[in-house]
Structure 1
Amino acid sequence: MEAESGGTITRQMRRLGNSVDWERERFTMDEGLSNAVKEVFVRLYKEDLIYRGKRLVNWDPKLRTAISDLEVENRESKGSMWHIRYPLADGAKTADGKDYLVVATTRPETLLGDTGVAVNPEDPRYKDLIGKYVILPLVNRRIPIVGDEHADMEKGTGCVKITPAHDFNDYEVGKRHALPMINILTFDGDIRESAQVFDTKGNESDVYSSEIPAEFQKLERFAARKAVVAAVDALGLLEEIKPHDLTVPYGDRGGVVIEPMLTDQWYVRADVLAKPAVEAVENGDIQFVPKQYENMYFSWMRDIQDWCISRQLWWGHRIPAWYDEAGNVYVGRNEDEVRKENNLGADVALRQDEDVLDTWFSSALWTFSTLGWPENTDALRQFHPTSVMVSGFDIIFFWIARMIMMTMHFIKDENGKPQVPFHTVYMTGLIRDDEGQKMSKSKGNVIDPLDMVDGIRCQNCWKKRTGNMMQPQLADKIRKRTGEAVPERY
């Protein structure tokens, strides 16, 4: 696959007039670069800058893997907002005498995982209820009412259901108020037979029952939505349904709705690496052209979150971590090193982590891994740092920023000062399709530049566009659009 794709890219570059040293062509899975990847992972782990933890990620239920924000495509759609009554516990009442709160949600199926209801601490309707409880419909779970500014007095009913295991905002609210996390979904996006209950640190907990009502078990998530709404309505707790405009996240490859999922993943403590990278641009060691893109860089880097670097895929750099039968984790460059450093005999069975690294992890090492690092090679001394990095603005954070962070952490000059990977970042625009969308193989809207030079028959064009698609159901639509946009021969 790499040889085929790499050959296509190289052929395009040669035909378009690129003049480079072709003998220095490298690929991130080359042996030398793979060694650099393992070296960086091990060093960061030993510096406590890489850790394994249970957190929310973008989960693709079709591909069964965590995906990056770059792979999430937000689409506008028409949906509904369900208003559901949550009965107050212990005889409590609202300021206007009601014995329930009305919670508005666009995802009623996640009700099964609620562990709290948030109200604004300044809201006169509900502030006296903070610290009291509601009884969660369908599962009869007693959950607290918490005061949090995430609840907007002017939005919805002013009461927000908190589902820390299935919503990114709720996850943060849950951390602030030490709410347990209840995972109700399988990796396929179906309702589990029994829930997984964790404390805020991701440890298993028995604070709540793991029982899920039988009528919802094993249901596909959108079928579960209908079933939950029907069950709530049957109890007389469905107050109203309103039309609502939604922004729905889709995986750009799998083409299905992304699910925030609580999973065990590997993370980089990015805030530590970000500080010198921000300073390098602030003091002019690195300059963006046009300069306006510095603002985009700063907006991400000054509010950076820990970076999820593990993926549940079959191809890539395998994570250099091993587990014994007790679940203890050992990190090293290879199994022999792990056994030696931890005094593990042949009687201790070890299995390597099956996950692979996010492709941006190896790409972040590009400027120095391609020059022979971790060895102090002549090429590294001669060619690093480089002068100019040319890139599209859409990957400033995913590639440019991470190259700066990794390079400044691992590469130092003769005085021990962190070295920048390049001095100028030249940002280009993006070539888009006739609808203004970014070109992507998964969308089937890519045009090979050589086909524009040489010409191509319409039939061959749409075949190239739909070959190896993750969403074959789109092929007919792409075929029609290609026929409308491309003459029979051009």
Structure 2
Amino acid sequence: MSDSLAPSYDPSNFESRLYAEWEDAGVFRARGKGQPYVVLLPPPNVTGTLHMGHAFQHTLQDALVRYHRMRGFDALWQMGTDHAGIATEMVVARNLGREGLTRDDLGRAGFIDKVWEWREESGHTIERQMRRLGTSGDWSRSVFTMDATYASAVIESFVRLYEDGLIYRGQRLVNWDPVLKTAISDLEVVNEEEDGHLWSITYPLADGSGSLVVATTRPETMLGDTAVMVHPEDERYAHLIGKTVKLPLTDREIPVIADAYVDREFGTGVVKVTPAHDFNDYLVGQRHDLPMINIFTPDAVTNANVPEQYRDLDRYIARKQVVGDLEAQGLLVEVKPHKLQVPRGDRTGQVIEPYLTDQWFVKMDGLAKRGMELVESGDVKFVPPNWINTYRHWMENIQDWCISRQLWWGHRIPAWYDANGKIYVGRSEDDIRRRHHLRDDVALLQDSDVLETWFSSQLWPIATMGWPSEHRMGDLGLDRYVPSSVLVTGFDIIFFWVARMIMATDHLVKRVPFRDVYITGLVRDKDGQKMSKSKGNILDPIDIIDGIELESLVAKRTTGLMKPETAPKIEKATRKEFPDGIAAHGADPLRFTMASLAGPGRDIKFDMGRAEGYKNFCNKLWNATRFVLMNTEGKVFSGKPAAMTDAEKWILARLENATVQAAAHFASYRFDLLAQSLYEFAWNEFCDWFVELAKPALNGTDAAAADSTRHTLLHVLESLLRLLHPLVPFVTEELWRSVAPRLSIDAATISLQAYPEAGDNAGDFAGAEADVEWLKSMVSALRRIRSELGVSPTKQITLLVQGGGEAECKRMGRFDSQLRFLNRIEKIDVLHGEPPAAAAGLVGEMKLFVPLEGLVDLGAERTRLDKELKRVEGELAKSQNKLASETFVQNAPAAVVEQERQRLADWGAQRDALAAQRARLG
């Protein structure tokens, strides 16, 4: 174990080395001993790379895991990746396209072999990047959601839910991507406002008595209308309810119905109903038992359910033809611009089609009721607690869940069909034949669909722990690690993942999956904009850790844009924001930045300036450690320091305070307050003040006080490194390895050392704390005088003191040598009578005077004071005038008025002090 340090902080010299050592030594493995503390990693897509959201969430999870591991818990951070059905299939299909092949050329089995081949070659990128961030997960237990053991859990859950009557196959409306030709989830649909049009169309009444005007943003879908609808209380149309209209361009008549869904104030108050192509219309169709007419094929081409002249047309070509024919027949009333929300698939960018198709569904009402009970009862707790409202809203408005996808990559649905279309569900074809006594000559064909990714990922809490073979992992499985302690995840998947894990785990194993759900927000750029490829404002965590040159950054941000014409704008913005590229910061500054921003609330703004500041923090810690090592060379201590000096007692009291705060902030998931309190203790109290306050003893003649101070320096630094380790693991490990031997600590890593606890440094230090706080005030006041006068820190000064109480006078005597050493004071005298020309300060009731003669040019100082006095009097006048205005006092918020009164008092005090100082100069 080395006790020497490189001359400067350079994380590239030690981060990768330290991580490899941790992993090789098995530091991150669950041990099966002690109280379990379990964190489930939300499994990132196997196709993915680490992004800022990952860096944010993984930092918080890692801090929790490292903290509890150091506290002696059996810490398990369950690692793994999701097979990401659509994303993975698209990646491999693109790769095949470069070879001039399609998935159909390979067939299903050949294509899946290609996917596995790709996964082995390229599918571990994000796990390597997580290691660069310092992720201390148990990689030995890492799970891929297509592993054989995980697949058995998926099949088992499907079969059990089917047998419980919760899974069925039926025809319902789904989000349909006409390029991928599959149903997709709501989370894979991006709704953005776009420019469109609103077409107003005449629908003639069948009896010839008049007509209704209907407004629509999708005129082509009128070919699938099965009703027009008015509000039941709309007097304009009450007499028409029950009549029929002739559907333009077709030979069909459709009814006029009444439904409270209609907004009477929008358009004409008459709405077309197309149940097979609109989610709201679908619900209306169910309420009124309307026919469901699907007019599109899976690739959004019109089918045989429309009049012959409109068949086999792309939906937008059909739109043009329908509009043209309506206009020719005099049925088009008007067309006007209209802003509308357009749903597009996040993978393809294509407009999503609400599509009526046969799919597999899960009945959700009963599961949702139970899922709500578990949260309302407190068995599962949301942090911050307001997120329960979002959870409740989704659960109370739940719809049956479409779980089938028309893909090849994924968990194939364990359902088989005979020649008559009868469905058999089982764990395998052999299982089905045995259970249903089917002869070998009865042909069975397995369903070609796969299960959507969320179906398999809802099993994450139990499938990773060995379920359904509950003994597969022995004592380190489900019985020990379910429920887990906390789930850290984003608010955007509370329903898609969190709620489903709660429902599935409860139904299948009668437990909750986790105790706490800590909800994070989104990471936005410094201006609060969402990070996206199209905006060109994405930051790559690895680029922040390792650095990236400007040209490479520009290429990364402008390559592969969906709208190439935006590239010049993105390039210009990038060159302006990062003229020198992004410097290497290391993982620790990035992690500390993320923790410092993790306050309660939805989103955080990431600013590179913060990361630069925390890089300076790591450098400060590095330099302070070098100072301590230099001043303890050849010394080895053991046990706790005796704390002979007031400065030692003060820093031990501050260390105890920091330890108490750290425990409280971890318990409340306030990572921002944790980072702030540790930063202030490390930078201000240890690195700045105690290092300074230790110097008089280190350079004094009292050998016992010097050794005690050395011991305390090492003790507090070692404790500080342990306090900081969960947030900044790399730099603390590297520094700790140099500090530990001098405290007789024989251990390989800080990661398994005990986290500091309240009481470790408790003592009767109140008197010393008060005395040292007074000393700090004296030092600060004198340094401020030096700074204002422009006096060199090395130049000796004279200090005159006047007034002050008995306690302050005793402190002056007690800290005489420290004041002289820390402020380069040649002489300290008590002033009787009027002071000479001097700069003044005040600490408590004691007045401080530093004679100016020989220090500064008195004429220049008079000029400076006159200028400053004029400025302060101007500010004072502004406050006086503002408060003299009745309009301001009566109309401004009370807090603003009070703030202005405080400003008036502050400016007045400054004016008086400056005037007195100026008067002393004559």
Fold match (TM-score > 0.5): yes
Residue of structure 2 equivalent to 1:201: none
Q: Percent of counterpart pairs with the same letter?
A: 60
Task: Check if 1:420 corresponds to 2:512.
Answer: yes
Match of 1:327 among 408, 421, 427: 421
State the Cα distance separating 1:483 from its structure 2 match.
5.9
Task: Check if 1:360 corresponds to 2:471.
Answer: no
Match of 1:396 among 469, 475, 494: 494
User: In structure 2, do the counterparts of structure 1 residues 263 and 437 end up closer, same or farther at CA, with 3 Å as the change threshold?
Assistant: farther
Task: Check if 1:454 corresponds to 2:565.
Answer: no
State the Cα distance separating 1:121 from its structure 2 match.
1.1
State the Cα distance separating 1:257 from its structure 2 match.
0.7
8 Å contact 2:242–2:255 — kept in the other structure? yes
State the Cα distance separating 1:151 from its structure 2 match.
1.7
Q: Which amino acid aligns with 2:491?
A: F
Deviations 1:5-56 (A, max 9, x none): 6522222222222222221111111111100000000010111100111111
Task: Check if 1:281 corresponds to 2:379.
Answer: no
- Summarize the alignment of residues 152-301 of structure 1 with structure 2, pairs less than 5 Å apart: 152-192=263-303, 194-195=304-305, 212-301=306-395
Residue of structure 2 equivalent to 1:64: 181
8 Å contact 2:172–2:359 — kept in the other structure? yes
Please give the secondary structure, in 2, of the residue aligned with 1:181.
coil
Task: Check if 1:112 corresponds to 2:207.
Answer: no
Residue of structure 1 equivalent to 2:435: 341
Please give the secondary structure, in 1, of the residue aligned with 2:374.
helix
Task: Check if 1:42 corresponds to 2:159.
Answer: yes
8 Å contact 2:485–2:514 — kept in the other structure? yes
Q: Which amino acid aligns with 1:432?
A: R
Question: In the aligned structure 2, how far is the partner of 1:35 from the partner of 1:441?
Answer: 37
Higher mean C-alpha deviation, range 67-76 or range 339-348: 339-348
Deviations 1:320-352 (A, max 9, x none): 111122222111111111122222222222211
Task: Check if 1:33 corresponds to 2:150.
Answer: yes
User: In structure 2, do the counterparts of structure 1 residues 337 and 445 end up closer, same or farther at CA, with 3 Å as the change threshold?
Assistant: farther
Q: Which structure has the greater CA radius of gyration?
A: 2
Question: In the aligned structure 1, how far is the partner of 2:534 from the partner of 2:436?
Answer: 45
8 Å contact 1:462–1:478 — kept in the other structure? no
State the Cα distance separating 1:296 from its structure 2 match.
0.9
Question: In the aligned structure 2, how far is the partner of 1:323 from the partner of 1:466?
Answer: 49
8 Å contact 1:462–1:479 — kept in the other structure? no
8 Å contact 1:253–1:442 — kept in the other structure? no
State the Cα distance separating 1:188 from its structure 2 match.
0.9
8 Å contact 2:534–2:563 — kept in the other structure? no
Question: In the aligned structure 1, how far is the partner of 2:139 from the partner of 2:343?
Answer: 40
Higher strand share: 1
Task: Structure 2: give runs of 5+ residues left out of the alignment.
Answer: 1-117, 583-922
Task: Check if 1:8 corresponds to 2:125.
Answer: yes
Question: In the aligned structure 2, how far is the partner of 1:454 from the partner of 1:408?
Answer: 43
State the Cα distance separating 1:219 from its structure 2 match.
1.5
User: In structure 2, do the counterparts of structure 1 residues 143 and 58 end up closer, same or farther at CA, with 3 Å as the change threshold?
Assistant: same
8 Å contact 1:458–1:483 — kept in the other structure? no
Residue of structure 1 equivalent to 2:506: 408
Question: In the aligned structure 2, how far is the partner of 1:7 from the partner of 1:77?
Answer: 38
Match of 2:259 among 144, 148, 152: 148
Please give the secondary structure, in 2, of the residue aligned with 1:182.
coil
Aligned Cα root-mean-square deviation (Å): 2.1
Question: In the aligned structure 1, how far is the partner of 2:571 from the partner of 2:432?
Answer: 54
Q: Which amino acid aligns with 1:276?
A: R
Higher mean C-alpha deviation, range 12-21 or range 177-186: 12-21
Please give the secondary structure, in 1, of the residue aligned with 2:129.
helix
Q: Which amino acid aligns with 2:230?
A: V
State the Cα distance separating 1:434 from its structure 2 match.
6.5
Question: In the aligned structure 2, how far is the partner of 1:299 from the partner of 1:280?
Answer: 15
Q: Number of residue pairs matched? A: 458
Question: In the aligned structure 2, how far is the partner of 1:443 from the partner of 1:47?
Answer: 47
Q: Which amino acid aligns with 1:303?
A: N
User: In structure 2, do the counterparts of structure 1 residues 389 and 6 end up closer, same or farther at CA, with 3 Å as the change threshold?
Assistant: farther
Deviations 1:189-215 (A, max 9, x none): 1111x11xxxxxxxxxxxxxxxx3333
Residue of structure 1 equivalent to 2:573: 484
State the Cα distance separating 1:224 from its structure 2 match.
1.1
Question: In the aligned structure 1, how far is the partner of 2:442 from the partner of 2:556?
Answer: 51
State the Cα distance separating 1:57 from its structure 2 match.
0.5
Task: Structure 1: give runs of 5+ residues left out of the alignment.
Answer: 94-98, 196-211, 413-418
Residue of structure 1 equivalent to 2:207: 90
Residue of structure 2 equivalent to 1:306: 400
Question: In the aligned structure 1, how far is the partner of 2:150 from the partner of 2:536?
Answer: 31
Question: In the aligned structure 1, how far is the partner of 2:257 from the partner of 2:263?
Answer: 13
Question: In the aligned structure 1, how far is the partner of 2:571 from the partner of 2:522?
Answer: 20
Question: In the aligned structure 2, how far is the partner of 1:366 from the partner of 1:5?
Answer: 23
TM (normalized to structure 1)?
0.89
Residue of structure 1 equivalent to 2:882: none
8 Å contact 1:458–1:482 — kept in the other structure? no
Q: Which amino acid aligns with 1:148?
A: D
- Summarize the alignment of residues 465-476 of structure 1 with structure 2, pairs less than 5 Å apart: 473-474=562-563
Question: In the aligned structure 1, how far is the partner of 2:142 from the partner of 2:326?
Answer: 61
Deviations 1:76-113 (A, max 9, x none): 1122111111110124x3xxxxx111111111000100
User: In structure 2, do the counterparts of structure 1 residues 479 and 294 end up closer, same or farther at CA, with 3 Å as the change threshold?
Assistant: farther
Higher mean C-alpha deviation, range 455-464 or range 421-430: 455-464
8 Å contact 2:535–2:570 — kept in the other structure? no
Residue of structure 1 equivalent to 2:910: none
Question: In the aligned structure 2, how far is the partner of 1:445 from the partner of 1:329?
Answer: 50
8 Å contact 1:118–1:147 — kept in the other structure? yes
Match of 2:139 among 22, 25, 28: 22
Residue of structure 2 equivalent to 1:429: 521
Please give the secondary structure, in 2, of the residue aligned with 1:395.
helix
Question: In the aligned structure 2, how far is the partner of 1:476 from the partner of 1:123?
Answer: 49
TM (normalized to structure 2)?
0.48
Question: In the aligned structure 1, how far is the partner of 2:379 from the partner of 2:240?
Answer: 54
Residue of structure 1 equivalent to 2:603: none
State the Cα distance separating 1:242 from its structure 2 match.
2.3
Match of 2:483 among 385, 391, 394: 385
Residue of structure 2 equivalent to 1:209: none
State the Cα distance separating 1:258 from its structure 2 match.
0.7
Please give the secondary structure, in 1, of the residue aligned with 2:366.
helix
Please give the secondary structure, in 1, of the residue aligned with 2:522.
coil
Question: In the aligned structure 2, how far is the partner of 1:331 from the partner of 1:158?
Answer: 48
